[in-house]
Amino acid sequence: MSRIGKLPISLPDNVQIEVSKDNNVTVKGPKGTLVVPVDRDINVATEEGQLLVTRPTEQKRHKAMHGLYRSLLNNASMA
C-alpha cells in the first residue's frame, strides 16, 4: 500500500480542504461536505493545491494506514 500512499492528491479548484488538530479532514465541494477521521499517527498536509499524506515510520501498520487514508481522502476529494 505504500506505493499508493506516496502519490499526492491533486485537488480540483472547487474543493476546499481543512485539517483540524484532532486529524479530522473536512472536504467541501459542489456535491456536499465529507469529514474523514484520520488515524493520529498519519500526517495530512496541503501544499500548492495538493494533499500530502505521510507516515512516521516503516512499520507494517503505518504502511497499511498510509495507503488506506490516502485512498479514502482521494475518494472524498472527488465527491
* CATH dotted code for 2-78: 3.90.930.12
Closest CA to 16 of 39, 40, 49, 45: 49
Mean pLDDT for 53-72 is 94
Q: What is the DSSP string of 27-57?
A: EEETTEEEEEE--TTSEEEEETTEEEEE-SS
Q: Is residue 60 over pLDDT 80?
A: yes
Cell of 19: 485539517
Report pLDDT for 2.
57
User: Please, which pLDDT band fits residue 3 given cuts at 50, 70 and 90?
Assistant: confident
For the chain, what are the domain ranges? 2-78
- Is residue 51 within 8 A of residue 73, CB to CB? The reply is yes
Q: For 6-49, how does the pLDDT look when each residue is reduced to its tens digit (9 = 90+)?
A: 999 999 999 999 999 999 999 999 999 999 999 999 999 999 99
- Is residue 51 within 8 A of residue 3, CB to CB? The reply is no
